[in-house]
Chains A and B, each alone.
With several copies, the nearest count.
Chain A
Amino acid sequence: MNLKRVDRGDVTVLVLSGKLMGGPDSVLFQDMIKDLLGADRKNLVADLKSLSWVNSTGLGILISGYSSVKNAGGVLKLAAVASRIESILMITKLTTVFETHKTVDDAVESFGGE
């Protein structure tokens, strides 16, 4: 997985690309979340448009991020989920955990504007 950070006002968009499947991906994602929470940035959107694939370990990484952010009083939302990943989120009922938006713009706006 590749991870890029884009700040939009007080919302931070995390752009994930490639394959999310555990191992080094986990450290990368957790470190990023820790940095953001340390800088008091708690409105986060994971942009999954370019994420081609995720396995159950990858789902765990997203959940771990979700929980850290929630514990810090923030929220991690998902945006632009591809259909292959959507089907895994549905089957595992994680669609009931994550607030999900069609586009990154929608997700950013859902925090109340940039």
Chain B
Amino acid sequence: MPPSARETLDLNLPSSMDYLSLVNGVAEEIATRLEVDEALKDTLTTAVIEACTNAIEHGNREDPSKTVKIRFEYDAEAFSVTVTDEGKGFDLKLVDDPVKPENLLRERGRGIFILRAFMDEVNYRFDPAGGTTVQLVKNLGAKAQTAS
């Protein structure tokens, strides 16, 4: 049964791509707990993986001595995940649109686009002291929708 009160789960891990499969497993377990359907489960786990990939790759430059902090907060109404790295951040305005025809064959540059397509809220916070946090929110209530 989905939790009646809002629950919080923290996962702090070394910055290596090798941990993506562990993160995927944790996100799937939480989605199972929330009793969302398979499509929504895929949406949530994909978004979590994209945010963590960026934190590990761009934020912490795959330095395993740096930590990526993931906080999941959820109840039957909403799923939120906050991913924080120790990096210098970036300029959101410089992020290209991957579905422009001239960008379609680029190998990279689809992560943030997928986050925005899949989730209801995507908020970046750049800490002047260093560190990037992205918060993703998906509504699970009556109005909840899956990606497709």
Interface positions of A (Cβ within 8 A of B): 19, 21-23, 53, 55-57, 59-61, 63-64, 66-67, 83-84, 86-88, 90-94, 96-97
Cβ contact within 8 Å between A19 and B104: no
Choose among B24, B39, B53, B118 the residue that contacts A53 (Cβ–Cβ < 8 A): B24
Cβ contact within 8 Å between A84 and B39: yes
Choose among B18, B46, B99, B105 the residue that contacts A55 (Cβ–Cβ < 8 A): B46
A-B contact pairs, 8 of them (CB 8 A): A53-B45, A56-B50, A56-B110, A67-B105, A84-B42, A84-B46, A87-B42, A91-B117
Q: What's the Cα separation between A93 and B108 when bound, in Å?
A: 14
Cβ contact within 8 Å between A55 and B98: no
Q: Does B21 contact A (CB under 8 A)?
A: yes
Q: Which residues of B contact A91 (CB under 8 A)?
A: 113-114, 117-118, 147
Q: Which residues of A contact B98 (CB under 8 A)?
A: 92
State which size class the interface on B falls in.
20 to 34
The 8 closest A-B pairs by CB, nearest first: A60-B107, A87-B148, A56-B110, A84-B42, A93-B99, A56-B111, A23-B17, A91-B117
Chain B binding site: helix, strand, loop or mixed by DSSP?
helix
Choose among A61, A63, A90 the residue that contacts B106 (Cβ–Cβ < 8 A): A63
* A20 smallest CB distance to B (angstroms): 11
Q: What's the Cα separation between A66 and B106 when bound, in Å?
A: 11
Q: Which residues of B contact A93 (CB under 8 A)?
A: 99, 104
Q: What's the Cα separation between A86 and B113 when bound, in Å?
A: 16
Cβ contact within 8 Å between A21 and B46: no
Cβ contact within 8 Å between B108 and A60: yes
Q: Interface 1/0s, chain B 32-57, versus A by CB < 8 A? A: 00000011001001100110010000
Q: Which chain B residue lies CB-closest to A54?
A: B46
Q: What's the Cα separation between A60 and B111 when bound, in Å?
A: 11
Q: Which residues of B contact A56 (CB under 8 A)?
A: 50, 53, 108, 110-111, 114
Q: Which residues of A contact B148 (CB under 8 A)?
A: 83, 86-87, 90
Q: Does B76 contact A (CB under 8 A)?
A: no
Q: Which residues of A contact B110 (CB under 8 A)?
A: 56, 59-60, 92
Cβ contact within 8 Å between B53 and A63: no
* A24 smallest CB distance to B (angstroms): 9
Q: Which residues of B contact A22 (CB under 8 A)?
A: 17, 53
Q: What's the Cα separation between A87 and B145 when bound, in Å?
A: 13
Cβ contact within 8 Å between B104 and A97: yes
Q: Which chain B residue lies CB-closest to A18?
A: B21
